[in-house]
Amino acid sequence: MQPLKTFMISAVASSAAWNELEAFLLENLFHPHFLCLEIITELWCFFMRYAETETSINIVSQLFLLLKFLASPEEVLVPLSTLRKVARSLCIILSYASSATVDQVYTCALNDENSSKSSILHLALLMEGFPFGSLSGGIKELAVKKMFSSFAGYLESYSKNHRAINAPPSNWGVIGFPVHALASALQRCEIKDDSIVDEKSITAMFKFTISLINMYGTAPDSVKDHLAKHISSMLDIIPNTRHLCAFSEMEKLTLQLHTLFLSFTSGSHPTLIDHDFSQGLVSWRDFWGWC
């Protein structure tokens, strides 16, 4: 690795050599072999660690454009999809960038409320550990408040729509975007500021989750996957607000989950094991271990 880093330093002195090396590094962010991808990511991290802010912003902008080509609502919720793999590499690279660079990425690239692609990329990066800790104070505070308010708005909309999970608005691009975004931020991005979650939101949160579990039991196979992902994300969110929740609410939700999985063992829902409950159940198990 050290000879490659030395060559990288030497290439910067020549615009022609650097252009060729830059193209090589960008292309190989899509390399299918994990070891090659790790080497390329490490070289980009080395570059970001020492590059000037303006240069690093330009590079990250190019990386982000590459990621945009992969933006897909189908791929964003699949952990090993090409979109998520490249998003993971970009998050690692951003962890070595300056706060000014991370601020620029968030405010200019990820904060476009009118772009479904922007929302998809936003979610992909949150799921892969976007470095929220590197955002400057004011921008980080606004980002966290926006996620919590979007989540509360989604729960309210669900209640007003007679507990129906509708197709996502064009600016979200993913069904349940606010739920998955907040779950990912709380779990992977070290977001601990839940002071803006009020009692009304907590009550709505439990009603929403229990309703999803009940819906899952009778839902057609075509929507079970979406419901499973919703439930998993809610089971990631709730333990992070446990000190605000009543024990009776926790107990009722646990009984609902128990009933659901009993129906699985009896053969009523043979497709259950195929859906993405695992991460949410780990969070729920850890919660009861904490209690």
Spatial CA neighbour of 126 closest among 86, 190, 181: 181
pLDDT band at 109 (very low <50, low <70, confident <90, very high): low
Please report whether residue 205 resides in a domain: yes
Mean pLDDT of 13-18: 82
Q: Which of 174, 196, 218 is the last residue of a domain?
A: 196
pLDDT on residue 271: 46
Please report whether residue 7 resides in a domain: no
pLDDT band at 42 (very low <50, low <70, confident <90, very high): very high
Alpha-carbon distance of 94 to 92, in angstroms, equals 5
132 with 172, same domain: the answer is: yes
Dig out the tokens for 238 from the structure.
């709730």
Domain range for 189: 73-81+99-196
pTM over 0.85: no
167 with 227, same domain: the answer is: no
Please report whether residue 47 resides in a domain: no
pLDDT on residue 92: 92
Distances from the Cα of 116 to the Cα of 71, 91, 131, 166, 172, angstroms: 9, 20, 22, 16, 5
Alpha-carbon distance of 91 to 275, in angstroms, equals 26
Q: Which of 148, 166, 196 is the last residue of a domain?
A: 196
CB atoms within 10 A of CB 135: 21
pLDDT higher than 60, residue 276? no
Please report whether residue 182 resides in a domain: yes
252 or 42, higher pLDDT: 42
pLDDT band at 290 (very low <50, low <70, confident <90, very high): very low
Alpha-carbon distance of 258 to 184, in angstroms, equals 24
Lowest mean pLDDT among 62-71, 106-115, 171-180, 233-242: 106-115
Which residues, other chains included, contact 272 with Cβ-Cβ below 8 Å and sequence gap of 6+?
224, 228, 260, 261, 264
262 with 203, same domain: the answer is: yes
